[in-house]
Chains A and B, each alone.
Chain A
């Protein structure tokens, strides 16, 4: 499809979702906080396409900026952002399991506490090796085993490198979950609890909101934010600048504090991809935990007991044996 057509389609879809969101908001007041505060009419009229396909004119004061609103068409969400090749670099030397990335991710994606799209593991590669914290999100592989096995094209690889899921298409066979060697994907086993402000949002694979029971979901590298030039919340929230996110084509990655050359960073710090031998070609690179900024215990001592249990077998192997 030609670019203009995509844009045209995108514009229409945008207008449509905007109209739906606004009309829903004004009519039934489901977005309680955003529309209860009555604004004075500005006099500016905006033309919108109603769900019935009619052009309606409403006052611009009724329009609210809504986060997580689908700003692209389904088709564009499948194609990806032209010219981009997203990449992430995780500096293991900087991680102290502060878990700010997790909470930011959970908050942004409205995830319940238990299901984490982004997790931090405590890895210990061999008996004598030193343990290290290992943040892990979706690797957005260039040869994704999950995409290969999806029977309905619900999970797909985009030209900008992202692997996304369309939860309107997903039949919930979980084949992708069995196929992902990194156990990245999570399933909505029960009806997800959705807060009022996202319940009625128009779904788009780029936002992943709202979640649906019986479908698969995972870390999406926040493409809706990338479109607006924003970093993913995990990158922003990290107090130590562990995550660098950027564009391989531009050869620039940013951790919120500094923007550096991707190739230089990988070259200088010995970047590698996790389990390269599987041939999945991840788009996430790791920098080895050399010259660490924090002792590994720093991420363990202050955890609450339930979280501590996760890492007990690595941190206190003797205790486990008893």
Chain B
């Protein structure tokens, strides 16, 4: 579960298909600060500790600085007092890497995405006869997913440009076509000011790209019942009630899919009293599935959050892999658990892009059986 304690929801601002919901922190977190490091436009290759490689377009990295004794930390860029110039390094080691003591560089969103891609990456652990030689030897490699950059999502750049940042704002929930595209939370308002423009360089799923083309978002205009008002104090009470109702509605309805999303949480790095972790959803179909990464303090309070909304096809792939892994990659057992037969499951795997995992003759037999 994601805990939004300490973050207050403020009225949303809409532009085109985007609805932007600001999150304001009453008390900023001072001993952890974030800072962006801009990389060039070239694709990046990240060498992972398990000797595999992760290749993606990574426009920027975040640098987290923290202190051990709770005294205020300064963002990395502030310490240097330098503009964001960086020598383009193509090959990076690890997605989260300590730079010096008390400073960690990590690649936002890609940390979570790599977690998704590496899901059951090793392939079948038992050599059932249905799986191809390649699946046994190499697993799912190479495993690829596609996403759109924020600049390709229509209207997103304008929506972010005209958004009026609140004083004390530490986060933003971005809805496109009223479906949650991304959640972003940082520890300190100044970090937010610096990192707000990086949202347009982030990754967004196919679903978000399509929704941005079709669905304009409408404001929820305030409505005051004039029969309940007999003085200015009443009017003020009604105005305050509007804001409270919106916050309650948003947290319980609009963001509900996100808050309950994390199912498998994996701790990545420990930063003083904070923990950097990534999470995967349950891959349940017909509901929102978000992958993401968090930094939480010892009390579980959210300091940093970034999520990515999986598209339907991606959910389906995650779902199939998770179900297969549950049954040790036994096709019959999995099919039975899904309430279908082996041939249907085989074709589903094929449609999801995993046809290469099955032996060709087995797959052909499935196709014949279903014709």
Do A and B pair up? The answer is: no
B residues whose Cβ falls under 8 Å from a Cβ of A:
none
